[in-house]
Amino acid sequence: MKIPIAQILRNLVAVFGLGLFGLSVGRLLWTDRGPVTHRVAAKAHVAGEQGADRDVMEESARETEKEGEEGPPPPKDSGELVVVLDPGHGGSDPGSVREGHYEKNINLAIALRVRKLLEGEGVRVVMTRTRDVAMELEERVAVANRYGKSIFVSIHQNASLETTARGVETYFAWPRPASVMKMQRDRYGIPEEYAFEDERGQALAETVQAAFCEETSAVSRGTKNRNFVVIRWVHGPAVLIECGFLSNAAERDRLLSDSYQAKAAKGIADGLLAYVKESGGEMRYGLRFPNGEPPEDPASGRRTVVQAIPADS
Ligand SMILES: [Zn+2]
């Protein structure tokens, strides 16, 4: 049997603890010039797939094409707060695969549930994908950056060679590249002479992680700072949650069940709602101005900035 090279690379990544982005090993790379993506690993994986899966992928490829030609124009920025939900992977990129179960499908199922819960609370939600289609990381980032007031959550499932590994972990990314900080200055009205630090990602990670664990009773692996492309290149608070391990049989069974997906979604939605409530929907919430008084916020006319306090600091 042919072993897909992407699988080997993925396992190596797992062994060295670099976190997992499914088959997209190349996508773990980042530079200060911009996110780097490679389709090479994805192609290697496709070559090792079975016929039935290829049909599914060809179907998604057609859908992508159709969407590009006939899809509706992207929604306009109305200035209101938008939660951008990003179900990881999709289409020809299944993410982690264990026992025939694809990470991409669980990511989407949970994200759709989160959307429903948030919309039920009157929160505007935008999804990077609502179907099984492939999407570059830059496209996901671009969706989040389309809005002046956006909170971004990328939803993933973990995997490891260590089959007993379990639990949930939430990532944030700090510092951000210079071009992203420039975008932040422009959008939040922060002149060049004001230094600032951004603790929003960590604050959001803490609330989402805590609410997820409370709702699901999952083991907490904590929050971590990691330069994942999808969270590093967006201007707003952004996190990536690994809901559980597909490589752990018991956890995989749970992640595949409707009841657990509902709890996972409730946890993520509760965490987001807690953050939105705490921040009052202000983008400058959680920014820190180490040199003293912050500049006036052109949006509110206020100088005060409520500082986010990470839960376990
Ligand atoms: Zn993933």
- CB-based contacts of 143: which residues, under 8 Å, 6+ apart? 74, 84, 86, 126, 128
Report which DSSP code applies to 269.
H
| CA of residue 78 to ligand 1 center, whole Å | 31
- pLDDT at residue 262, as a whole number: 98
Phi-psi region of 173 (alpha: psi -120 to 50; beta: other; left: phi over 0): beta
- pLDDT at residue 82, as a whole number: 97
| CA of residue 19 to ligand 1 center, whole Å | 9
| CA of residue 9 to ligand 1 center, whole Å | 14
Which one-letter amino acid corresponds to residue 124?
R
- pLDDT at residue 157, as a whole number: 98
Q: Say if CB 275 and CB 170 are below 8 A apart.
A: no
| CA of residue 93 to ligand 1 center, whole Å | 9
- pLDDT at residue 59, as a whole number: 35
The most distant pair of C-alpha atoms in the chain lies apart, rounded to whole Å, by: 65
| CA of residue 296 to ligand 1 center, whole Å | 39
Phi-psi region of 22 (alpha: psi -120 to 50; beta: other; left: phi over 0): left
- pLDDT at residue 175, as a whole number: 94
| CA of residue 151 to ligand 1 center, whole Å | 19
| CA of residue 102 to ligand 1 center, whole Å | 10
Q: Say if CB 89 and CB 158 are below 8 A apart.
A: no
- Residue 312's Cβ-count burial label (10 Å; 0-12, 13-18, 19+) is exposed
Distance CA 308, CA 197 (A): 11
| CA of residue 274 to ligand 1 center, whole Å | 25
Mean pLDDT by 10 residues, the chain (313 residues): 43 36 36 39 31 33 40 76 98 97 98 98 97 97 96 98 98 96 93 91 97 98 97 97 98 98 98 94 89 75 60 45
Neighbours of ion ligand 1 (CB under 5 A): 22, 88, 95, 156
Domains defined along the chain, listed by start = 5-288 (3.40.630.40)
C-alpha of 215 from chain center: 19
| CA of residue 24 to ligand 1 center, whole Å | 9
- pLDDT at residue 12, as a whole number: 37
Report which DSSP code applies to 4.
P
CA-closest candidate to residue 136, choices 201, 176, 86: 86
- pLDDT at residue 111, as a whole number: 98
| CA of residue 55 to ligand 1 center, whole Å | 22
| CA of residue 243 to ligand 1 center, whole Å | 10
| CA of residue 68 to ligand 1 center, whole Å | 24
| CA of residue 108 to ligand 1 center, whole Å | 11
- pLDDT at residue 88, as a whole number: 98
Helix, strand or coil, per DSSP, at residue 132:
coil
- pLDDT at residue 106, as a whole number: 98
Give the global pTM. 0.77
